[in-house]
């Protein structure tokens, strides 16, 4: 495979047998695909990209007012601003040359991890940053996530609403990433959740690279399409039938910075996954916490990064 397949979300919503079969094949073989006809307006996407770039171009001392250690949610590393060389995804690269801001679904502060409000700049500091991100979040979590979960359930031969009970209050890590011109990188890793919805700022030169079963391939931007990749939790849930795929980013364009906006989608924080065909029980919460320790504390990397050095 030299390019990622394209799946239509509108066809999945109609439960098109052809599209469901196509989705099964790509999730079984590669775990990465483009998603078109998703119903999210380009206007809100472009506004969020612009507001993100404006935030990252603020003075460092301003951005540090929203850093991880002043966040309220546990773990603090799941929210807020991370400066250049702050995150560790893989030992091959070490600390990534990129800046990050993480947020989530706004809920009251809770003893549960990954649950609560984000300390985020208001319009007096970063005009449109919070409002555009939360508007885009609503679009992704209402127009994309439920339909994609339905498609995945049908592809697995399950009832269309199989995943609904596990996503009544889903957990979300929403991120905006700033890759500096000519040097932005994210080390080899797998994502940890059910799936990731990635919005890439359009550039003709690809930055994202994906490891298919045969080789590393480029995943160039496709206009009006998101990139979807499956995560470790779904691979665990399906007992390896659907695969979480290693990927990395090299932004080599020396003339422009780049913004990427991934949505890492997880089930309800108290979900207990029972891998198909087994009596095993896996805590989604514990999988998430273990991954955050590996990235931010022990620096072993993200997802299955240790397998990818």
Structure tokens at 307: 């397998």
Per-residue pLDDT tens digits for 126-166: 999 999 999 999 999 999 999 999 999 999 999 999 999 99
For residue 305, name the pLDDT band (cuts at 50, 70, 90). Answer: low
Sign of CA dihedral 207, 210, 211, 213: negative
Q: What is the pLDDT of residue 2?
A: 76
Burial label for 17, CB within 10 Å (0-12, 13-18, 19+), is exposed
Q: How far apart are the first and last CA of the chain?
A: 23
Distance CA 94, CA 96 (A): 6
Per-residue pLDDT tens digits for 94-123: 999 999 999 999 999 999 999 999 999 999
Q: What is the pLDDT of residue 157?
A: 97
pTM value? 0.97
For residue 205, name the pLDDT band (cuts at 50, 70, 90). Answer: confident
Question: Does residue 309 register a pLDDT over 70?
Answer: no
SS3 63: helix
What is the number of other CB atoms lying within 10 angstroms of the CB of residue 83? Answer: 15
SS3 34: strand
Distance CA 70, CA 133 (A): 20
Contact 138/131 with Cβ under 8 angstroms? no
Average pLDDT, integer, range 182-202: 94
Long-range contacts of 158-162 (CB under 8 A, 24+ apart): 160/15
SS3 287: helix
Average pLDDT, integer, range 194-210: 92
How far is the CA of 104 from the CAs of 32, 77, 136, 234, in angstroms?
23, 12, 12, 20
Cα 266 → chain centroid? 10
SS3 151: helix
Distance CA 237, CA 299 (A): 26
Distance CA 106, CA 115 (A): 8
Contact 47/132 with Cβ under 8 angstroms? yes
How far is the CA of 203 from the CAs of 17, 42, 272, in angstroms?
33, 15, 40
């Amino acid at each position: 495979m030299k390019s990622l397949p394209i799946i239509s979300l509108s066809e999945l919503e109609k439960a098109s047998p052809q599209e469901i079969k196509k989705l099964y094949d790509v999730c079984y073989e590669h775990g990465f695909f483009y998603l078109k006809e998703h119903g999210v307006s380009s206007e809100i996407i472009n506004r969020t990209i612009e507001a993100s770039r404006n935030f990252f171009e603020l003075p460092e001392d301003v951005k540090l007012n929203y850093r991880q250690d002043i966040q309220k949610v546990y773990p603090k590393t799941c929210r807020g601003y991370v400066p250049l060389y702050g995150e560790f995804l893989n030992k091959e690269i070490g600390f990534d040359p990129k800046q990050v801001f993480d947020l989530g679904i706004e809920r009251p502060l809770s003893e549960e991890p990954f649950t609560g409000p984000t300390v985020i700049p208001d319009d007096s500091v970063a005009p449109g940053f919070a409002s555009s991100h939360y508007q885009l979040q609503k679009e992704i979590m209402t127009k994309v996530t439920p339909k994609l979960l339905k498609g995945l359930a049908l592809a697995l031969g399950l009832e269309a609403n199989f995943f609904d009970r596990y996503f009544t209050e889903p957990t979300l890590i929403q991120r905006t990433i700033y890759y500096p011109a000519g040097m932005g990188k994210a080390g080899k890793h797998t994502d940890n959740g059910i799936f990731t919805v990635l919005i890439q700022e359009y550039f003709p030169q690809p930055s994202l690279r994906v490891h298919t079963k045969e080789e590393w391939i480029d995943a160039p931007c496709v206009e009006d399409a998101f990139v979807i990749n499956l995560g470790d939790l779904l691979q665990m849930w399906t007992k390896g039938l659907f695969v979480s795929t290693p990927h990395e980013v090299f932004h080599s364009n020396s003339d422009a910075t780049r913004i990427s906006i991934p949505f890492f989608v997880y089930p309800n924080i108290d979900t207990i996954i029972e891998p198909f065909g087994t009596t095993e029980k896996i805590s989604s919460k514990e999988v998430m916490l273990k991954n955050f320790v590996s990235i931010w504390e022990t620096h072993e990397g993200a997802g299955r990064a240790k397998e990818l050095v």
